[in-house]
Each structure stands twice: as structure tokens, then as C-alpha cells.
Structure 1
Amino acid sequence: MAKSSADDEELRRACEAAIEGTKQTVVLSIRVAKSRGVWGKSGKLGRHMAKPRVLALSTKSKGQRTKAFLRVMKYSTGGVLEPAKLYKLKHLSKVEVITNDPSGCTFMLGFDNLRSQSVAPPQWTMRNIDDRNRLLLTILNICKDVLGRLPKVVGIDVVEMALWAKENTPAVPSQQNSESGPVASTVVEGDLKVTVEKELVSQVEEEDMEALLGTYVMGIGEAEAFSERLKRELLALEAANVHAILESEPLIDEVLQGLESATNCVDDMDEWLRIFNVKLRHMREDIESIETRNNKLEMQSVNNKALIQELDKLLERLRVPSEYAACLTGGSFDESCMLQNVEACEWLASALHGLEVPKLDPGYASMRAVKEKRAELEKLKSTFVRRASEFLRNYFASLVDFMIGDKSYFSQRGQLKRPDHADLRYKCRTYARLLQHLKSLDKSCLGPLRKAYCSSLNLLLRREAREFANELRASTKASRNPTVWLEASTGSNQNVNVADTSSVSDAYAKMLTIFIPLLVDESSFFAHFMCFEVPTLIPPGGPVNGNKTGGNDDDTNDDDLGIMDIDDNDSKAGKTSGELGALNESLQDLLDGIQEDFYAVVDWAYKIDPLRCISMHGITERYISGQKADAAGFVRLLLDALESRISMQFSRFVEEACHQIERNERNVRQMGVLSYVPRFAILATRMEQYIQGQSRDLVDQAYTKFVTIMFVTLEKISQTDQKYADILLLENYAAFQNSEAYEQACTRHISMIIYYQFERLFQFARRIEELMYTIMPEEIPFQLGLSKVDLRKVLKSSLTGVDKSIASMYKKLQKNLTSEELLPSLWDKCKKEFLDKYDSFAQLVEKVYPQEQIPSVAEMRELLASM
């Protein structure tokens, strides 16, 4: 009989490989042919051609439970088995052998959980009856043992199956996982409790059995007589058996002799086997000894090869390329050679890092060759760092000396020269990468280099500031205003000759506009060029409170050195604080002394017009608010110092003016309005003009001092003549209260408060008014920023919660006033001014946006009246 595919171990291994990872064990694998009812049909054979498949029975244990599966395997294009379908045996409901197949090798398996019961299940055809019986018995055994039930069996004779199972007991394996391995189980007839549609005993067999029983029953009336008859027949049968046994005694003797002869042969064979076993054991020991020696030799050979390879790698690490050694010890630092220098630095840093323990095996660290090579590399590093540092110090000095020696770099008579450091920074950038590598090789070398750079560039910056400030003052034409504003000798009806000194504050603003961004840029460039680990100062070319920070249009990328950070950890926040302190110390060396030229401009402006300190103070405040970067510490300190000096100069002017007021009490018998009252109104008008919307603290403090000393002096003068004291006080207080300057100051202050709260609304109205001079009102909604959508956005942002905005105006007015008596009148003026402005805005909206709805003027008037 041909070998069954169920015994094919390679097939089983292929099935196990196909379901690898599922934790399932293959119990049986067998080749089959799959078809769709081809037997007895004359349809198209193309659709019903048999396809080769492999059926595999598998089990999976999960705790105390065992699950059984039927897997269908198909062959892929490359001839490799792969899973096609999976059936759970717990859903197997019927096993039916197809009667149309004459060979009886075709059967169907019915499952009760198939989604489409209208499609006929596939038919499986085995190679022979033995394979069919073997597969079906294995399925029935698994169903009985694992699931505890049997499916319905149709078309199979159970007795025939049981007889086949007895005859082929070893050929029906059922894999059971036990400590002793697979154990073959046999299906016996008693185990097959199968429900079949075909009757176990045919009708003919039943009639024969009844006839047989009838021979015994016929003529017997009592059970005892029947029992006696059976006993007699049994004794006759036993006697016949004994007689047959006695007749076969010669045959038994012959068999016993043959068995004895076979026993002797077996004993001889056992002796020979023992001898051969001893010889084989000795031979096995010799073979093991030879194999051991061979293994040691092979291991020694492998170790020697690995050792040679490792030593080759170590020697490669220890080798110093001649071109790098020459470059590090004596190469040029010209611009054309910087690429070779950078490559040599990178190699040196990598080589030093490669000899450290994390990169180098700890066992090699103590080797003499490694120590000597490390010392050699350290010597190369120190030599290169010394040479590079000396070259850079000389290079910085030579660049600055060249620029200082050329007068065309600086401002000259009749020509203000904006400092231009584009060429200087371009030349420095050539060596930015070198500085990065010097930092990675020896961070301590950066200190002297930074000092050398600061020392050289400080000379250039101070020279540029000095020449610029000198030419700025020389080219600014402005008449000097007298410092005697409230002098008693000046009559009340005489006007002080007030000259236009706006060019003075413009000159100061120009000085800041040119040099503050330059100093910020220099600070930023220095921080990056000299490898400080601090955040970026400001974006290149970014504005400082509306002004361009860059002094040169073509120098917008000064902060970009065109290099990448070598150390990825340079920008870590943990290092920033210490580096920031060192940077500010270096910036002090870089920029110290330049403040004297700014002081000179402030003092010069004060001598021409002391009131210009107000404008300069506001300009300085704008620049201070624009300097937020930590790394521009010196620039912020410079601006703070300028603000303090301007405040000090203005305080000096206020003290002198107060002293002039005090001198009025020496004049006896002064009548009418004192001279300093109308002159204070003129002074206040000028001071308000110079504020220009900036902080009022400086001017308000001056007002407090002026008014205090004016009223104290007025009281003293009135006491000199009690007869006319009240009339003198009455006239002077009335003149002070009703002065035109007071009204102007009120108007300006109220406008400032209104615009502070509703600036966007009234700026929108101002833009509409300006456009109405040139275009028609109906065209205005189509202008950029003045569409209906823009109007709605302005209305939403300005008039949403307008009551809160008006309350904020009141609070701001109240906060700025030190005299509560003035608050009611000022608040009435503020409400009237706001209502007038809103009325104008409403009229403009009605003309330009007739369809848009806004709060009416009447509603706004009621709201203001209720506030």
C-alpha cells in the first residue's frame, strides 16, 4: 500500500510553518482535492475542476479548555503552503460521504455557522478509502474527546469503520500533548456512537437472525428445558475443542523446538551486540576527543582573526594623517586655506573623542600606545589653538586699524557718515567656523579672543560715535532759547523770543536712530560670532519701536553667521544664565566709553533749549521700551543712563526757574497780576507741545514744583501789604485759572484720554475725512481697510461695552488728577468733547455707509448723562 500523505513529515512541517504564531498544534495534515459537485454532472468542467488542497486538523490549549480547528491550506505561486480558510470543529454538524462517487473517497463537511447556506459546501476527495477513513476517524475522535459530542454521519457504515479502525490501529494517530510525546489512539467500534441515517442491520440479516432464534424456540415450552439443552450443547463443544487440541500436540512440540533454537540464536546475537557496543563506545570517545581538539583550534583561529581586526581598527584610530598634522602644526590661516583647517579641526575633535572611554573600550584606555597617542593629540590641539588664537587677535586688530586709518569710514565736515560694518562682519564670518571648533577643542581660549575683539572694535565704535556726534552738532542750526523764563525783571506783557529748536531733538533722535540699532546689532553679532550660548537678540532687520534696527540695508543677516552649531547642546537653557553674565561683561568692554558722546549731544541740546529735554526724554523712552532682549544689556543700560541724564538736566532747569519765581518776593509793593503767572502759561504751552503724546511724568513733576512755588511766593508777596492782599490774590488766582494755556492744556489732555480709549474708532473717521477730499463718499467703502466689514470690526471692538470704556475714561482722568476740585469740570468737558467727536463720526457713517446701523448720538448722550 502506498504511503499516506498523513505520514509525510515535511507536509506537517509546512503546515506548522504556515500557522506559526497562532499557538496551534497540528494533529493531522493530509492532501485532498477540492471540487464543487463534479460527480454525476455534465456541466462545464472548468468551474468544477478539482484543486489541490491540504486539510490540517489543529488544536489550541487555553487553560483547562482545548479548541479544535480544521484548516484549509492552498499552494501559493511559489509552491508554499498558506492558510486559505479556517473552520472551528465545534460548529461541525454533519459528515456526509457522497454516494455519487463510486470510489467512496468523496465527502462533505457541514458547518452550522456558515453565512450563506445557499452555496453548496465544497466536496473533498481523498486518494483512497484508507485516507478517507483515517481523516474522518480523527475528526470524530477529536469531536468526542475535545468537544464531548459527535456530528451527524451520513453514508458510512459504522460497523465497517470500526472494523477498519481495529485493522489499522497504528495508522490512525491522534496527537496528544503529553510528557512522553505523541501517543497513538485507536478508534474502536464501541467508541463510535454515531447517529446514521442508514440502518445498522439490514432487513435480510434481521430475518436470518429471527429464523435462527426460531429453531431454538420451536417445540420448547419451558425455560429450564431450554437451559439444559444449551448446557449439553456447550459440553459437546468443549469436548470437541479438547479433542482438537490433543490431536495438535506434535505440531506444538515442533513449534517449541523452533522457539528454543530461536532463543539460542538471540543469545548469540546479544553477545555479539555487547562486544560491538564496547567497541563503538571506545570509538565514540576517540571521536569526541578529536572533535574537542578541533573545536579549540577553530576557536583559537577565530579569536586570532578577531584580535587582528580589532588591532587594525585601533591602529587606524591611532594613526594621524600627515596632511592633518601639517595643517594643525604649521598651516596657513588665509581664507583659501580655511576649509582644510576646518577639516583638520573636525578630525582632531573626532580623534580625541574616539580615545575617550565611552567610545573606546575601557580595556584599551590604559594601554601605553593609547596614552602616548592621546598625549600627541593633546599637543597637536594646544599647538593649533595657540596658533589660531594668535592669528585671530592680530587679525581683529589689523581690520580695525585699517578702518581707523581710512577717514572715509567716518563723518566729515559737511557730511554725516552712517557707520557701515558690512565688510568687517563679512571678513569676520570667514573665521566663524574656526571659532566654533576652537570652542569645542579648548573653551578657555575664547576669553582672550573675546577681549581682543572687544578692545579692537571698541576703538572703532567710539571713533565713529565721536565723529558722528561732532558733525551732528556742527551741522545742526538752531538759535539758543534763553533759560530765563520766569525772571521777575521781564515784564508781564513782554514776550520771550521763542525760537524753533526742533532740530535739536531731531539731532538727538538721529543719533539714537543710527547708533542704538548699530550697537544692538554689534551685540548680537558678537554673541553669535564669539560662540556665546544665549538666545537670539532680535530678528535680523527687525524694528525697534518703529525704526529700522539695521544700520545698513545690505546688512540684514548679521546674526546669521552661515554656520551650524557643532555642539548640539549649546542652546540648552541650563547654560544660558552663566553665559549671559559673561556676555554682558564682554559687551561692557565692547561698548564702554561710547556713552560720553551721547552725553555730549544731550548737554549740547540742553544749552540750546532746556525744554527740549522733554522731547528727548520721550524719544529715549520709546527706545527703552523696544529693548527687551537680555543679551543687549549694555544698550539698555546706556538708554537708562541717557534717560537719567536728561531728567537730571531738566530738573536743573526746573530748579533755576523755581529760583527765578522766588526772587519775585524781594520786590516790594507788587500790584496786579504778577509777571510769572502769564509767563508760566507760555512755559506750560511750550512744555505741552514737547510732550508729543509720551509719558507725562517728567512734565507733571515740573508742574507740581512750579505751581507750589508760585502759590507760596504769591502768599508771601500778598502778606507785605494786608490792605491789598485779597485783591492781589483774587487777580492772580483768576489769571491763573482763566489763562488760555489752561484751556489748551485741558483740551489736549481730554483729547489724549478720548483717543487712548477710542483711538481705533476716531482714526477710522479721520481716514474717511481725508479720502472725502479726493473721492466720492460712495467709493470709500471700496478702499483698502475701509470696507463695510472693516467698519463692523471697528464698531465691534470700540463700541462693545461702551459704558465700560467711558467708565475707564473717567478713571484715567481721575487717576491723573491730583486736585479733586478740577475733576467735575474736566469730566463735563471730556463728555462734551467725546459727544462732539462721535457726532462727527455718525454723520460720516451716514454719508458713506447709509445702510449700516450704529448707536445714535441721542443714545450716546443719554448714556453719558447717566454716567
Structure 2
Amino acid sequence: MTAIKHALQRDIFTPNDERLLSIVNVCKAGKKKKNCFLCATVTTERPVQVRVVKVKKSDKGDFYKRQLAWELRDLTEVDAKDANKENPEFDLHFEKVYRWVASSTAEKNSFISCIWKLNQRYLRKKLEFVNVSPQLLEESVPSGESQSVSGGDEDALDEYQELSAREEQDIEGMMEVCEYAISNAEAFAEKLSRELQVLDGANIQSIMASEKQVNTLMQLLDEALSEVDTIEGKLSSYEEMLQSVKEQMDHISQSNHLLQLSSTNNLRLLDDITFLVNYMDLSKGHIRALQEGDLSSPKGIEACINASEALLQCMNVALRPGHEKLQAVKQQQQLFCDLRDSFSRRLTNHLNNVFVHQGHDQSSTLTQHSELTLPKHSALHRDLLRYAKLMEWLKNTQREKYEGLTGTYVDYMTRLYEREIKDFFEVAKMKMAATLPRKESALKQDTESLHGSSGKLTGSTSSLNKLAVSGSSSRRSQSSSLLDMGNMSASDLDVADRTKFDKIFEQVLSELEPLCLAEQDFISKFFKLQQNPNLSGSQGNGSDADGTTRPPHHGEHRHSMSEKDTVRLMMNSIFHCIEVELNTLIALGDKMDSFHSLYMLVKMSHHVWTAENVDPASFLSTTLGNVLVTVKRNFDKCISSQIRQMEEVKISKKSKVGILPFVTGFEEFAELAETIFRNAERRGDLDKAYVKLIRAVYMNVEKVGSESLKTPRDVVLMENFHHIFSTLSRLKISCLETERREAKHKYTDHLQAYVITSLGQPLEKLNHFFEGVEARVAQGVREEEVSYQLAFNKQELRKVIKEYPGKEVKKGLDNLYKKVDKHLCEEENLLQVVWHSMQDEFIRQYKHFVGLIGRCYPGSGITMDFTIQDILEYFSSIAQSH
């Protein structure tokens, strides 16, 4: 073990300036046997650091390496497991517990003893040794003695100590002086002993020679001690004098402290008195204004406003701790509460009287029925806004009275506005009804039936037409006989009358909008509902300003509302009749003419859009939005009614069909709609209606054409699709561009089909002859050899041609013209178009016959009895003669 200790000292600890004091061979408890060494070391430099180092052999086994190190000051407990029996196990408690098994009990005991000694010498914190035999723990030595650990035997710790560099140099120098120092060590030792004795003798002689100087030094020391005693006496007298001065200074300091404390208290008292006087004092002028101020004059109102603000400031002042216990403060607070209560009662009574007087005022409702205007309340608003600051004061101090005033204002203004709005809408209904060319009795009956209704009336929808297809003339007179009771066909209403209705409806909305906006603005300003989004504080929780609780008010639920919700609730109460009256007016307009829904949809959409830009959640925006739903529903109902009437249309069996009434009705609807919806916000609704209507028109044109008995189907479809194509081309409706092209295609197809069907084979025998010729050619007979066929020789061809002289051809064409004239209607004026198409078809057949003659009968000299020029002349003369 000594050899291992020297090797560890040399290889590991000397390079780190450490000394190895004790070593123990250990392995971890409970694991496979992997031996290592625990070493107790101290540093050679100051301050001394004591460590426990774990050293382990390298994997190759040829050298040792340092693995872990712990500071001894971090060790808290050493547990030897058993103090009476030999046991190689022991525990070291650092930041965690390390359990070891030593190779022998003696090595364990030697290591624990070394740890105990190092702890006693170098550490202030004493370790706890558990289950350690008392013989291993020696008593610690006094700190003042020079012993190292115990008994002064440092060799017990330092079994081996290397020489320092200086010591090595001194020894080498001595050995160089004595040549035989190495060869004869005994002689060298004797020589050193003799030199040591010589030096001891010289030291003794030197000490004896210096006895006189020592005596002199002792004498000087005695004199110095006497002088020190003298100085100490003087210092004691000085200290006594300073002690009396200190007592006097302490007394003076205490007096100054008391004076300073008194001055501070006086300043604080003056500050508190000044604070109370400045912030808790209300001038006599303000008190007089609160008690007797004139609330009807501008000067008196201004004085009351200033006084109420001063009172509120005094009541809301933040008192300092202890002020509330002062009797004067309590009296002043009671005075403020009395002034607040009396002034709030006086203000409430005055404003109540103003509201009641305005609610009962009948002058504003005396409107001339010739003028469609609503009374303006700007003067009332201007007068009441003078009290706005007082209302804010009341809101902050007397919430219950503020709620009561709010309810009173809403009640009386509701009555006032209800009278005015009902009178206003009565005038509007009369003016709308006057736009119809109807009898007075019918007009009266309509207006009376709609008077006072809730807006849910729905008159039967007027239509594009309710016509029976009974010929091309006098459709207007026929439609007038098919009118629903109380309704008129759209075609019977003059455009000017519709324009009058549009202006009346626009004026109604234009009058309502500023009225509602002005009232909403007034409510926000007067009742101060535009500043704080939520109410909080003691006043908002059912407490008065003086802290006393009050019972909940019937309007207490408003405290949890936002300011905008409160304004909207008040507006809904005041103007609850607007939506009802608007719906009633809309029902009247729709009953008069379903086309009015177009005007109303555009106007109402524009006003809703304008209101939403101002405030999307305002009363006006919400109300107009609700009414817009009704208008849109009427518009959809108008479209659906027109489609239904298209499906129900019946055709006449005695006269030709001509242009169907719902086709002209769609034209009228589109012309009117394009005028109304120009630059409108709801253009998309019209485009959807267009698509629905045009598809219904197309479907029902096909249906009528199939059911027609007197007029050919192709004529019905040709004329009506031509009319639709012309209408769409003229109006240039972008969303119907596909339908416009479809109408043109259908018109062209049916024109061609009618021409082919009507013209047929005007040269019938000649046509049959050449069909036989073409059949022979198709069977393989060459064209130039057809003339050799018995049935198709030149003689037979001449016979057939002779049967169709020009005069007979012209006569046949004249009969054809009369037939076409009977089929076509006059309104669409397509006779010449059809006649020209028939001319082209006839010429095409003529050219075909001439071509076959030239190819099949070359050089025969056979020609038709008439030429193309003759054909053109026939068609032209027939057209001009009719």
C-alpha cells in the first residue's frame, strides 16, 4: 500500500500541488468488484483546501487516473455502519450518499481517523460521525498551540514529505564542499555534527556578549511603560470631559428633535386644514344656485351647472386617512348630500314638466295634408341640450332619478312621435292613392282597408299581363277586363304615375331618416350615452354617493348594457310605429301595382346602405333592414306571380296568336326595371329575376306554339323569339346575353323551318320528275345517259315544263303570299322578311332544276318557261300589290 501511495503522490497529486495524507482501497457497495482508491488530500498553497479524491486504475492497467473529487466542506456525515464490530462498509454523505466497502477494516478506520483530524484542523463546520468507535476520534487540540492535529505529532499525518527546491540546493552545496560526503557518510555526519557544535557555541557567546544591550533595552522599555501610564491618565481626564459634553449634546439633540417634530406636525396640520378648506368648502353662491337657481333661463342653468360640478367635486374628493372621523367633515358631507338630494328633486321635477308639456303639445302635429313633411324638433333638442351637463351630473349622482327621467322622456316622446308619424303616413297613403286613375269610392275603400294595419296586408299581385291570346289587336282593352279587384295591370299604369309613387316613397324615407338620426344624436348627447361603454363604481351597483345602499330600480338592468344598446332600446321604444307604418305603406303600394316593389326595393336598399355606413347597429339601420326584407319578399312574389300567369295563359282558337302578351309584358318589365335599377345597389336581385322570367318566357312560348291550332307552331315561335331578340338587343342587358343569342338562334331556325314548310314544292310535277332523275343517277346511271331512259327522255321533260308557264307560277306565288299574310301578325312586321326568304328558297330550287337540265340533257336546248329575273319580278310585284 506504501508503494501505491508513493506512486499516487508522484503521478497524480504532486503535479496538482497536493499532498496525499491517507488512502483506502474500496469498491461500491452492492455492485461487482471494481476496486478504486479514496484519497484524503490537502493543497500545498494557502488557503489550504481539503478534498476527498476518487482514483481509479486505467482500463489498460498501467497507470492511475483521477476520476472524481469532493470538497471536505461539502461532506455532512460519515457513517461507519457499526462501532462495536469490524465492518468494512462505510458511507460518505455529500450532495448524495456514497456507499463504499473497504478492502480491510483497518484501512477504513485509518481513513475515517484521518478525515476526523482534517475536520478538526481545517474546517469550522464539524462533521457528524455516526457509528464510529470513540477510540478513533481523538480530542481536538487548543487552537492557540502550534500542534498540528493531535499531540503535536505532524509526522502522524506526514509519513512522507518531499524536500523543497531550496532545501535540495543547500544539501547539494554542502555535499560539494565535502568530497567524501557520498563515499563516507559517517565521516560526513561527524563533520556536520562538529560544525553544529561550533555554531551553537558561537550563538551562546553572542547571546552573552549582547547582555548589556538587552539590559539597556529593558530599561528603555520600563521608561516607555511609565510614559504610557502618564498618557493614559491624561486620556482618562479628557474622556471624562468629553462625556459631560456628550450628555449636553444629547440633550440639545433631543430638544431639536422635539422642535422639529412639532414643526412637522404643525405643517401637516396646516396642510390638512388647507386641503379640507380648499376641497371640502362650497361657496355660498353655489349653494344658493343649487337651492334657488332658475332652471328655465340660460344664465340660471349655467350657474346650476357650475354649482353641481363643484358639488360633485367636493363629494368625490379623496379624503386622507382619518379625515372621515372629523366632526366637521361629517357635517360638511351631510350638507353636500342634502344639497344633492334637494337639487336632484328640483331638476327632476323641472325636466319632467318639460317632457310632459312637449308630449301633450298638439301644435307640432297640425300638418297640412298637402305637404308630405314631418315636424322638426330641433328647437326642442336645442333647448334640452342646455341641460345635458346636468343630466350627466344626475347620472353620476342619482342614478334612480336619472332612470326615471329617461323613462318619462321615452313615454311622452313616444306619444308625440306616434301621432306625428301616423299623420305623416296618412298623408303619404292619400298621395299614393291619388296617383291611380281610379274612382273615388274604390280609392277610399283601399285606403280605409289599409288604415291602421300592422303591415301584414298583402294585396293580390298585379301582373305583367292577364291576357288571353285572342288576336293581335286591342290587347289593352282585353287586359283591362281581366283586372283583379282592387288591382290594375302594370300596362294600365302610366309611367308618370309610377314616377309619382317613386317620388312619394323616396320623400317618406328622406323625411324619416333625418328625423331618426337627429333624435338618436340628441339622445346620445342629452343622456350622455356616448362616452363610457360600461357603467361601474358604487353608483352602478345600487349605492348612492354617500355609500348608503338603495333598493334596485326597475331600470337597473340597464347598468349591465352598453351605451349603444341603451340608445337602441330607447329608439325602439320611441319609434316602434315606424316599421309598422312602413310595412302598411309598402302593402298599399304593392296592392296598387306590384311593379312598385321595384321602386321600393331600390330606394329601400339605398337607404339601408346609407344607414349602415353611418352606424351598422343603429336603430335606423336595423329598422330599414327589417322593412327591406318585406320589400324583397314582395319583389320575389311579383316575379313568381308573373311566372305563374305565364303558365296559366290560354290561347284563342279563333284568331291567330301573334306576339304573346307575356312577351310584351316582359319587354315592359325590362324597360321599367332598367330605368329603375340604373346604378342601384341591388342590381344582383334584378339579374336573378331576369333569368327566372326569361326562362319562363321561353318555356311558355314553346308551350303556346305547341298548343296553337290556327297559327303554325313555327310562326308563333319565329315571331315571339324575334320580338324577344329585338328587345334584348335594344336594352343590352348584360346578364341576358346568352339568352339573347339563344333567341336569335331560335328565331332563325323557326323562320327557315316555316319557309320550307310553307313554300313546299311550288313546281310539284317538275320536282317529282327531277327526283326520278336523281334516283337514276344514284342507281349508277351516268348523268348524260339519263335522257335515254324512256320515262325521263327529252320529250317527257318538255311536257312537264309546259305545265308551268310563268303566268301559272305567278298565280301560285300570289296564293302563297295570301296564305303567309294570314299566318303572320301585324305587330312584328315580319311578312316581308318571310317573303324574301321564300324568294331565296324558290330561286335555289330553280337553280337546282336548271343545273340538272344542263348536266343530264346537254345540247337539248330545253329551258324553263321563266327566268330568275322573272321570278324576282313575280315576288316584287306580288309584295307591292298587297
Structure-2-length-normalised TM-score: 0.45
Q: Which has the larger radius of gyration?
A: 2
Structure-1-length-normalised TM-score: 0.46
Higher relative contact order (CA 8 A, sep 6+): 2
